[in-house]
Structure 1
């Protein structure tokens, strides 16, 4: 993932909301809680805020919030991913599922899910109909699927050209002849 200030995908990922519990009273910050009736945000309030804000509030000393994992990265979803990640509607879980997961401590779940779904994407890249029939994909999966489909089309076109067939390099052929001659001498 590109953690660049000007990276559009990073901006979209850090705008995803994460659940946080405020550890201290914050004056004049009640607007962060849509259900708040007061101007101040009280300690113990649970609010979903953008990741960029949660990171900056957590980085303060002492931290102002306790950042929790979004529900899609918790144990109940881990069981679903372990059972069959290929049947999950990744776009419904979040368009930036993998990228957001990289910010948390769920790297093993992200890796296993990505590995299962990558195999599915790779096999479906041969046919664009297969990709369209799959569950809705996350943003990075769509990018991977379109790149795989382009690569498959380019390979097919290259193979159909037939103007430069693959042959054994002369260096390899000569090496084999020398080895064969050496083996015959023994």
Structure 2
């Protein structure tokens, strides 16, 4: 991740469910209690970057339990994974998370889940073929394709743009080569 990567910053801003394992004084503002204490067992949705920092931090004592436990965010919970297994093209990934695959990669850095790796890989592979078909359709997307294209996450939009502009770039390059060789 680059410090200046806007997509990475937006991915890290995605909310994830966290459960506080111990009482934490001074963080009450996270729960709407300014200056108060967040009690053990409190569940809050925190930005990914903050949740990770609190999950790896153990307070003042080394070896003590972490401050929070992270759970899978809503876009990566089992109901979405099951829908992706059934038909990857039917899920509106953008509605789940604008940076769906980046969020998945960040979560998989924290949790080891082979099934999720397989599902996300198969989803990207399956959807990439359909994205390429829509990008090369000269008449524009078909009626059912409009909703599909609206549901692309940011990395899929990059694939669409590259697949759409690629043939034009090759054509321009070949014309330039012909001009210089004549």
TM over 0.5: yes
- Secondary structure in 2 aligned to 1:125? helix
What is residue 70 of structure 1 aligned with on the other side? 73
Q: Which has the larger radius of gyration?
A: 1
CA distance in 2, matches of 1:13, 1:99: 6
How do residues 52-71 of structure 1 correspond to structure 2 at under 5 angstroms? 52-61=49-58, 62-71=65-74
- Secondary structure in 1 aligned to 2:72? coil
Q: Which runs of 5+ in 2 are unaligned?
A: 59-64, 109-115
How do residues 159-174 of structure 1 correspond to structure 2 at under 5 angstroms? 161=175
Once superposed, what is the RMSD of the aligned Cα atoms? 2.4
**Consecutive aligned runs of 4 or more in structure 1 exceeding 3 Å deviation:** 155-159, 161-164
- Secondary structure in 2 aligned to 1:130? coil
Which one has more relative contact order, counting CA pairs under 8 Å at least 6 apart?
A: 2
- Secondary structure in 2 aligned to 1:141? helix
What is residue 108 of structure 1 aligned with on the other side? 118
Instruction: Note if contact 1:125-1:152 (Cα within 8 Å) is conserved in structure 2.
Output: no
CA distance in 2, matches of 1:123, 1:156: 19
Q: CA deviation at 1:73?
A: 1.3
- Secondary structure in 2 aligned to 1:144? helix
1:152 aligns with 2:134: no
| Residue correspondences, number | 160
What is residue 118 of structure 1 aligned with on the other side? 128
- Secondary structure in 2 aligned to 1:104? helix
Q: Which runs of 5+ in 1 are unaligned?
A: 165-186
Instruction: Note if contact 1:90-1:138 (Cα within 8 Å) is conserved in structure 2.
Output: yes
Instruction: Note if contact 1:102-1:110 (Cα within 8 Å) is conserved in structure 2.
Output: no
CA distance in 1, matches of 2:74, 2:12: 17
Out of 141, 148, 162, which is 1:130 matched to? 141
What is residue 90 of structure 1 aligned with on the other side? 93
TM-score by length of 1: 0.77
Instruction: Note if contact 1:14-1:50 (Cα within 8 Å) is conserved in structure 2.
Output: yes
